[in-house]
């Protein structure tokens, strides 16, 4: 029932958000096949400007929320988020390198920035995965957490170094990229992100029951028959792939990955069989809503969506937190 409500919310957001924007469009004209596409401004706004960004918001929001849930359980730390282990910083570093050095690469129509960004996230994932493999059985998740945080800091320093090499316009573009944007302007980068996200979803699908056990403690999980190391690696790779795909698609969007899981837990409790799907659905709906605000509140200009996620998500979370308390 609760999941159905979250599903209805996500469906509603998906259906309504493309209808609203800084410009008024006529839905009849959007689907009027008698108007040539090149002359149909309403259809262009709907299909090129709005629909891709709503889909991107849904995917990025759900990926970040799912990753947040999984990282918080995996690291047994409520402050963990998709940014914690450095995968997000790896994706950012890739994008900053592509912008600063004007890399001219493209695969399947996907342009250099998202491509190199995703490659950066894979590089960071390889390092984090190496750390997790080097970790001896029984070592606290704290080691992985500290290793990941350190990697994040190192990559952030490298980002600063590359930024230092950039000229003024490149720096300007780098800063703008780091603010995040869901205005993807075509379906190609979405299709590119779907591959790694699909792999991540398969991984997430195996996790709900075992995450409940692992998040309490690895030893008690092991005594109940959970292959802890395997579970942790599936969790780590799935959450990292989802994070890398999301950040390469939209840039870093703060707050969703840490706040949505907590918000959902306040509503549905801590059972991961509910938390994971509910977070996916609510994360998507939440980011669609935030992006709607971002693109309309100071129209015709836009706010970076990350500002809106923090400014809306923060107070709502605090209200829920203290209302429950």
Partner 1 sequence: MAAVSKSVIVGICILTLNAFVGAVTPVHPAPTHGSAPAMQRATTTPQRIISLIPATTEMLFAMGAGDRLVGVGNYDRFPPEVGRLPRVGGLLDPDVERVISLKPDLVIVYATQADLKRQLERAQIPIYDYVHRGLPDILQTMRALGDRIGMKAGADAAAATIQQQLDATRARVASLPRPKTLLVFGREQGTIRRVNASGGLGFLHDVLELAGGSDALGDLRQQSVDMSTEMIITRAPEAIIELHYGDPLPPERLEAERRVWNALASVPAVKSGRVHLLVGDEFVVPGSRIAVAADRFARTLHPDAFR
**Segment lying near partner 1 (by CB under 8 A), choices 41-49, 57-65, 256-264, 315-323:** 41-49
Q: Judge contact between 252 and 178, C-beta under 8 A.
A: yes
What would you measure as the largest C-alpha separation in the chain, in angstroms? 67
Torsion on CA atoms 208, 81, 67, 227, rounded to nearest 10: -40
Residue 162 beta carbon to partner 1: minimum distance, rounded to whole angstroms: 13
Q: Judge contact between 272 and 69, C-beta under 8 A.
A: yes
Q: Judge contact between 155 and 90, C-beta under 8 A.
A: yes
User: CB 292: neighbour CB atoms within 10 A?
Assistant: 22
Q: Find the binder of partner 1 among 94, 120, 148, 189 (CB under 8 A).
A: 189
- Position 231 contacts partner 1 (CB under 8 A): no
Nearer Cβ to partner 1 (47/129):
47
- Position 190 contacts partner 1 (CB under 8 A): no
- Position 28 contacts partner 1 (CB under 8 A): no
Q: Find the binder of partner 1 among 152, 262, 265, 295 (CB under 8 A).
A: 295
Q: Find the binder of partner 1 among 54, 60, 66, 113 (CB under 8 A).
A: 113
Q: Judge contact between 237 and 204, C-beta under 8 A.
A: no
Distance of CA 24 to the CA centre of its chain: 29
Residue 160 beta carbon to partner 1: minimum distance, rounded to whole angstroms: 14
Q: Find the binder of partner 1 among 3, 77, 143, 183 (CB under 8 A).
A: 183
Residue 37 beta carbon to partner 1: minimum distance, rounded to whole angstroms: 6
CA gap 187, 209 in Å, rounded: 34
Radius of gyration of the chain (CA): 20
DSSP 41-71: HHHHIIIIIIHHHHHHHHHHHHHHHHHHHHH
- Position 21 contacts partner 1 (CB under 8 A): yes
CA gap 13, 186 in Å, rounded: 20
Q: Find the binder of partner 1 among 9, 13, 17, 45 (CB under 8 A).
A: 45
- Position 317 contacts partner 1 (CB under 8 A): no
CA gap 7, 195 in Å, rounded: 23
Binding mask 137-176 for partner 1 (x = CB under 8 A): ------------------------------xxxx-xx--x
- Position 33 contacts partner 1 (CB under 8 A): no
User: CB 14: neighbour CB atoms within 10 A?
Assistant: 17
Q: Judge contact between 82 and 74, C-beta under 8 A.
A: no
**Segment lying near partner 1 (by CB under 8 A), choices 105-113, 154-162, 207-215, 262-270:** 105-113
Nearer Cβ to partner 1 (152/295):
295
**Segment lying near partner 1 (by CB under 8 A), choices 62-70, 138-146, 182-190, 223-231:** 182-190
- Position 193 contacts partner 1 (CB under 8 A): no
Q: Which spans of this chain sit near partner 1 (rule: CB under 8 A)?
A: 21-23, 37-41, 43-45, 48-50, 53, 99, 101-104, 106, 111-113, 167-170, 172-173, 176-177, 181, 183-186, 189, 295, 300-302
């Amino acid at each position: 029932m609760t999941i159905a409500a979250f599903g209805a919310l996500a469906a509603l957001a998906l259906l309504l958000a493309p209808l609203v924007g800084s410009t008024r469009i006529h839905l009849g004209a959007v689907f009027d096949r008698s108007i040539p596409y090149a002359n149909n401004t309403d259809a262009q706004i709907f299909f090129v400007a709005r629909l891709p960004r709503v889909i991107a918001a849904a995917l990025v929001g759900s990926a970040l929320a799912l990753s947040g849930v999984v990282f918080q359980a995996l690291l047994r730390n409520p402050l963990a988020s998709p940014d914690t282990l450095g995968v997000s910083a790896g994706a950012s570093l890739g994008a900053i390198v592509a912008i600063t050095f004007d890399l001219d690469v493209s695969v399947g129509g996907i342009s250099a920035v998202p491509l190199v960004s995703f490659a950066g996230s894979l590089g960071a994932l390889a390092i984090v995965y190496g750390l997790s493999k080097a970790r001896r059985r029984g070592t606290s998740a704290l080691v992985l957490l500290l290793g990941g945080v350190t990697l994040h800091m190192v990559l952030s320093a490298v980002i600063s170094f590359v930024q230092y090499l950039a000229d003024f316009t490149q720096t300007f573009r780098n800063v703008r990229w780091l603010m995040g944007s869901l205005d993807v302007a075509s379906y190609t980068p979405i299709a590119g992100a779907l591959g790694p996200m699909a792999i991540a979803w398969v991984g997430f699908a195996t996790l709900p029951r075992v995450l409940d056990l692992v998040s309490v403690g690895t030893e008690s999980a092991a005594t109940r028959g959970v292959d802890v190391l395997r579970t942790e690696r599936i969790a780590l790779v799935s959450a990292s792939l989802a994070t890398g795909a999301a950040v390469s698609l939209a840039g870093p969007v703060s707050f969703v990955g840490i706040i949505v899981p907590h918000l959902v837990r306040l509503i549905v409790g801590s059972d991961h069989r509910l938390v994971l799907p509910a977070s996916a659905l609510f994360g998507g709906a939440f980011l669609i809503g935030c992006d709607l605000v971002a693109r309309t509140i100071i129209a015709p200009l836009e706010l970076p969506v990350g500002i809106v996620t923090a400014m809306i998500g923060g107070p709502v979370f605090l209200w829920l937190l203290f209302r429950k308390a």
